[in-house]
Structure 1
Amino acid sequence: MLELAQRMVFCAMVCSIYARASCPSRCECSEAAHTVKCVSKDLRAIPNGIPGYTRNLFITGNRISRIGPACFQGLDNVTNLSLSNNRITEVESHTFADLRSLRYLDLSNNQLTTIHPEGFSMHNHSLRELNLSRALYNHSAVMDLAASVRQTTLGSLQGLDLSGNGLIYLPSRTFSRLGQLRRLQLSNNSLVAVRNATFWGLEQLEELDLTFNALKSIPEEGLRELDALPATSSLLLGDNPFTCTCAIEPFALWLNRSQGRVRDDEALACAFPAAMRNVSLLAAATLTLGCYQREAGADLTLQTSYVFLGLVLGLVGLVFLFVLYLNRKGIKKRVYEARDACREVWEGYHYRYEIDSDPRLSQVSSSADA
């Protein structure tokens, strides 16, 4: 019995030593919590030897420049992976393909410049949340991401965070393969417009955050795009520099029709011009902007121009008639002279006609000529 107890203690010690040995250097491992943390350890690559029991893997605040499929082999149980704030610049194709249980992926606060076409390919569509907040370094990364999202298998993705990336516009149909997406975060960018096919394919989208962008208005094309999101019941548009001129009238009317769908509609206000600053967009309709009054004023100006032109032409006509009156004698003389000249020409033609029509006169005329 004593020998059995000793063997059990020995096995426990061996297992304990093995468990400690299986934890990567400069990382903290907890088998009970199924968690491994490698936080701010100045790592230059994903460490080897991460235990297979790991479900929550936090490798943050390091200096890892690139990640690829070799980094996560054998980690079938990882469900939450955080790689934020690592200065990652490149994501290779199939990097996360072996993470068959992955549901949450955080790549925020990195410096992505290159995302390969199948960088986010997943074998079993397990990923539900993807955080790319403040992760895209330049415009080429935006285009790479759009191409990757269109080509990879993220059909089960429900949440996508692209906030804080300085996005000016989104390529058409960027999200066309994300048919199950429920939440899309686009806040704190520089988006200037919502265009046709920007959100094409997002039939299940419930929440759309467009706060803190550069939207001056949303034209009718963009309004049709938003209306084409049938499931979206929570739309945020606050903290945009809306310019309240006549061009914003369709958007203001749309807001009044869509109350309840735009969650922060009562907080939306004009930023420009100065006279309209802080005026609620819900009130900035036709009467407030005075668009029709301006159109009526334009019509009045046009009518006034026509009246002025008529007066000028009338004055020119009077001057012409007055000149004719002053020169009536000379004009009458010229008319008489023209009349007499025409009469002489006519009589000559008439005489020639009579000669040609009467043979006797023709003979006399010929004799006279001889």
Structure 2
Amino acid sequence: MLDLAKHVVLCALLGCVYASCPPRCECSEAAHTVKCVSRDLRSIPTGIPGYTRNLFITGNQISRIGPESFKGLDNVTNLSLSNNRISEVESHTFTGLRSLRSLDLSNNQLAVIHPEAFIAQNQSLRELNLSRALYNHSSVMDLANSLRWSSLGNLRSLDLSHNSLIFLPSRIFSHLSSLQRLQLSNNSLVAIHNSTFSGLERLQELDLTLNALKTVPEEGLRELDSIYPATLLLGENPFMCKCGIEPFALWLNRSQERISDAEDLVCAFPASMRNTSMLAVGTLTLGCHQRNVGADLALQTSYVFLGIVLGFVGLIFLFVLYLNRKGIKKRIYDMRDACREVWDGYHYRFEIDSGPRLSQVSTNADM
């Protein structure tokens, strides 16, 4: 009877544990884990056990999340919401997750991110994964505003890879003062502007591989120097090795200790320079210095020659005028007399036409 009673109590306890697991989810109290993977869920399920530390809700059809989605989950430290087609994150969505340290929103379609979306208590979040998460370019501005309003002062890692980013708003990371690792790989960034990485004083690694950087102008080089001594990754960019890239090439040689893949950086264009090491690119390789000197010399010579020709033509013209000064003077006098006669004729005719009596006399005289 005693053994039977123990079994009944054990079964009852197991039943309670099983009953506390949301439908279409798998729960493990021993591992403090709840998984709701590819269950065609339309919203965050209710009844998630309070013991949960690792919560995986992935591969579903959830379109939005808000403050009511994670109530009572004070113990959750790792939350994965990847591949759910989430398009909207409301303000204070994660406020109730007091212990949250890792948040994965990758592979979603975030079109609307409210300004206070990432405000959380205790600033506990350390890792934020937004890889393949942004739906369009306008959501980048939403993200910038939410990062400025956020309580992510202790964030260590931010993943923004595979988002087709063309640009980054100025000072987008300025409130992430503790950020150590920033992944921007597999985007379409064409330039690095002033204040792009402002505020990242503790950054240790910046990944810019597989973007659309053809060169990095002096403004961008100053920005990269501002996050010294962070390690940089610049591989798989279509660098254009033509005149004007020399400052970037010299900077690469000077900063090799910071660039993990410096020896793998090669020219993509033009065809004659393809696969040439960026470290070997310089004024001697491109011949820009010599060509510029030759061009300047040729231009200066052309100007001097043109001046001499024009001066010679002017002297000839003045000499011709001098030789024909008498004839020119006579022609000028003749033109003056002819003009005077024409003017006197017009004046006489005007007086006749304006005086009726004189006009009549003139008419009778003609008769």
Same fold (TM over 0.5): yes
Offset from partner CA, 1:159-191 (integer Å, 9 cap, x none): 000000010101011011100000000000010
1:215 corresponds to 2:213: yes
Deviations 1:27-59 (A, max 9, x none): 111111111111111111111111111111111
**Change beyond 3 A, Cα 1:328–1:113:** closer
Matched, 1:119 2:125: no
* 1:286 to partner: Cα distance: 1.4
Aligned-partner SS, 1:18:
helix
The equivalent of 1:32 in structure 2 is 30
2:194 is aligned to: 196
Which position in structure 2 is the counterpart of 1:139? 137
Opposite residue 308 of structure 1, the aligned amino acid is F
How far has the Cα of 1:271 moved from its partner?
A: 1.1
The counterpart of 1:161, out of the listed 159, 162, 169, is 159
1:302 aligns with 2:299: yes
- Alpha-carbon contact 1:118-1:151 (below 8 Å) kept: yes
Q: Report the CA distance between 1:251 and its aligned residue.
A: 0.6
**Which one has a bigger Cα radius of gyration?**
1
User: Partner amino acid for 2:247?
Assistant: P
Alignment equivalent of 1:94, drawn from 89, 92, 95:
92
Moved more, 94-103 or 156-165: 94-103
Q: Percent same amino acid among aligned pairs?
A: 73
TM-score, normalised via structure 1 length = 0.86
Q: State how far apart, in whole Å, the 1-side matches of 2:310 and 2:138 are.
A: 63
Q: CA deviation at 1:231?
A: 3.4
Return the match for 2:277 from 268, 277, 280.
Answer: 280
Query: What is aligned with 2:240?
Result: 243
Which SS does the other structure have where 2:301 is aligned? helix
1:49-128 aligned at under 5 Å gives the runs 49-128=47-126
Q: Which residue of 2 aligns with 1:341?
A: none
Deviation, structure 1 residue 16: 0.4
Cα drift, residue 308 of structure 1: 2.0
> What SS is found at the alignment partner of 1:260?
coil
The alignment partner of 1:58 has SS state of: strand
User: Could you say what secondary structure the match of 2:269 adopts?
Assistant: coil
SS at match of 1:57: strand
Q: Could you give the per-residue CA deviations for residues 204-236 of structure 1, whole angstroms, max 9, x where no partner exists?
A: 00000001111111110110011011230x200
Residue 346 of structure 1 corresponds to: none
1:260 aligns with 2:254: no
How far apart are residue 324 of structure 1 and its match? 5.1
Question: What is the match of residue 347 of structure 2?
Answer: none
Q: Distance in 2 between matches of 1:71 and 1:117?
A: 18
Q: In structure 2, how many angstroms separate the alpha carbons of the residues matched to 1:224 and 1:160?
A: 22
**One-letter amino acid of the structure 2 residue matched with residue 227 of structure 1:** D
| TM-score when normalising by structure 2 | 0.86
SS at match of 2:172: coil
The question of whether the paired residues in 1 share the 8 Å contact of 2:229 and 2:258 is answered with: no
2:341 is matched with none
Specify every segment of 5 or more residues in structure 2 that has no aligned partner in the other structure, as ranges. Answer: 332-367
CA contact (8 A) 1:203 1:231 kept: no
Deviation digits for residues 44-86 of structure 1, max 9, x if unmatched?
1111111111111111000000001111111111111110000
**Equivalent position of 2:348 in the other structure:** none
User: By how many angstroms is 1:292 displaced?
Assistant: 1.1
Of stretches 6-15 and 117-126 in structure 1, the one that deviates more from structure 2 is: 6-15
Q: Which digits, 9 at most, give the CA deviation of each residue in 1:332-358, with x for residues without a partner? A: 999xxxxxxxxxxxxxxxxxxxxxxxx
Q: What displacement does 1:283 show?
A: 1.1
1 CA distance for matches of 2:115 and 2:277? Answer: 44
C-alpha displacement of 1:321: 5.6
2:226 to 225, 228, 233: 228
Q: What is the Cα deviation at residue 318 of structure 1?
A: 4.7
Partners of 1:106 and 1:130 within 8 A in 2: yes
Whichever residue aligns with residue 224 of structure 2, its letter is L
Quick one: distance in 2 between partners of 1:316 and 1:80? 87
Distance in 2 between the 1:231 and 1:36 partners? Answer: 40
